[in-house]
A and B are shown apart, each in its own frame.
Chain A
Amino acid sequence: QVVLTVSSEQTTTYVRNFNPFNQTSARATTKDFIYEPLAIFNRLAGAKWEYRLAESFELADDLKSITFVLRDGLKWSDGQPLTADDVVFTYDNLKKFPALDFNSVGKLMESVEKLDARTVRFNLIQPNSLVATTIVAMPIVPQHIWKDVADPVTFTNENPVGSGPMTEITRFTPQVYEQCRNPNYWDAASLHVDCIRMPQLADNPQVLAALVDGTLDWATSFVPDIDNTFVAKDPVNNHYWFLPSSLVAFTLNLESPDANNKKAFNDVNFRRAVSMLIDRQSIIDIAGYGYPVINEDPAMLGSFYKAFGNPEVVTQFGQYGKFDLEAGKALLEQSGYVDKDGDGFRDNADGTPIAIDIEIPNGWTDWIDAVQIAIESLKQGGLNVKMSTPEESVWASDLIDAKYSMSLNAIASAANPYFPYIRSFNPADFGKSRTSAQRWTDPEVVEMLNKYTQVKDPAEQKSIMDAIQLKVAAAMPVIPVYNSPSFYQYSTKRFTGWANAENPITSPVVSNANPGRLLQLLALRPVAQ
Chain B
Amino acid sequence: MAFLLRRVVFYLAAFIAAATINFFLPRLMPGDPIQKMFAGAGSDLSLENLNALKLTFGFIDAPIGEQYLAYLKSVFTGDLGRSVRFFPLPVTELLGRALIWTVGLVGTATIIGFTIGTLLGVMAAWRRGTRFDTVISLLSIFSSSVPAVVVSLITLFAFGYTLGWFPNGYAADPMLDPAWGWDYIASVLYHGTLPMLTMVIVLTGGFAVTMRNNMINLLGEDYIVMGRAKGLSDRGVMLWYAARNALLPTVSALAISLGAVLGGSLVTEVVFNYPGMGNTLYQAILARDYPVIQGALLIMTAAMLVANFVVDLSYVLLDPRLKRA
Contact = CB atoms under 8 A, between A and B. Distances in A.
- Contact between chain A and chain B defined by CB under 8 Å: yes
Interface of A: 11-13, 15, 17, 22-25, 97-99, 101-104, 107, 151, 153-154, 156, 173-176, 199-203, 205-206, 209-210, 215, 246, 361, 363, 391-397, 410-412, 432, 434-435, 513
B257 interface: no
A104 B53 CA distance: 13
B94 A13 contact: yes
Nearest to B50: A99
Interface in B25-51: 29-49
Q: How large is the interface on B (under 10, 10 to 19, 20 to 34, 35 or more residues)?
A: 35 or more
A98 B288 CA distance: 23
Contacts, number: 132
A23 B52 CA distance: 14
Interface of B: 29-49, 52-53, 55-57, 83-89, 94, 97, 168-170, 174-175, 177-178, 273, 275, 279-280, 283, 286, 288
Contact of B49 (A101, A412, A435): A101
Contacts of B177: 173, 175-176
A52 to B, nearest CB: 21
Task: Say whether chain B's binding surface is mostly helix, strand, loop, or mixed.
Answer: loop
Nearest to A102: B45
Given A15-B86, A393-B30, A199 B174 contact: yes
Contacts of B84: 24-25
Given A24-B84, A24-B85, A205-B169, A175 B178 contact: yes
Contacts of A103: 43-45
Contacts of A99: 49, 52-53, 55-56
B87 A23 contact: no
21 contacts: A13-B94, A23-B41, A24-B33, A24-B85, A25-B85, A99-B49, A101-B45, A102-B43, A103-B45, A153-B52, A153-B56, A176-B174, A363-B286, A391-B31, A392-B31, A392-B36, A392-B40, A393-B30, A393-B35, A393-B288, A397-B35
A206 B56 contact: no
B174 A15 contact: no
Given A13-B86, A215-B175, A393-B288, A104 B52 contact: no
Contacts of A203: 273
Contacts of A434: 39, 42
A201 B175 CA distance: 9
A11 B289 CA distance: 14
Nearest to A199: B174
Nearest to A399: B39
Contact of A205 (B34, B168, B283): B168
Contact of A13 (B48, B169, B275): B275
B39 A210 contact: no
B56 A104 contact: no
B33 to A, nearest CB: 7
B49 A12 contact: no
Contacts of A206: 169-170, 174, 273
Nearest to B48: A98
Contacts of B283: 12
Contacts of A176: 174-175, 177
Nearest to B32: A393
